[in-house]
Amino acid sequence: MLNRAKCKRCSDILEIKEGELVYCSCGEIVLNGIDKRVVCNTSVTNYVEVDELGNEIVLDISSPKPDRKALLEMLDEMVKKIEEMPSHVMQAPVNHYDFASALLLISTILKNFD
């Protein structure tokens, strides 16, 4: 569980217990002990997790680029899930978040063509 973080802007080290809400002095980051997450005002790169001694914990959030086959499998899975929806859901309007997600996946697939 995330319970300690350092703001890169003001260098405050915040520590929380479950149920608390703690802000750094510059207001850039908030540690939320209610749902156990960090909230950043401008960028998630403005904080680092720290251990009990104040040492920064480096997190690797990079992931390998999916190949064409994996992207097509994602698209097939999306189609399968949509086809499994009940008829009253299938007749409901699609919102723009859904449409943007589909277009982004198709765009990524097409960009990965050799």
Give residue-wise pLDDT tens across range 19-42: 788 888 998 888 877 666 677 777
Give residue-wise pLDDT tens across range 74-99: 888 888 988 898 988 888 888 888 88
pTM score > 0.75 for this model?
no
Handedness of CA 39, 55, 58, 16 (dihedral sign): negative
Give the residues across from 40 on adjacent strands: 29
* Mean confidence (pLDDT) of the chain: 80
Q: Which of the four pLDDT bands, split at 50, 70 and 90, describes residue 10?
A: very high
Structural domain boundaries in the chain:
4-57, 68-111
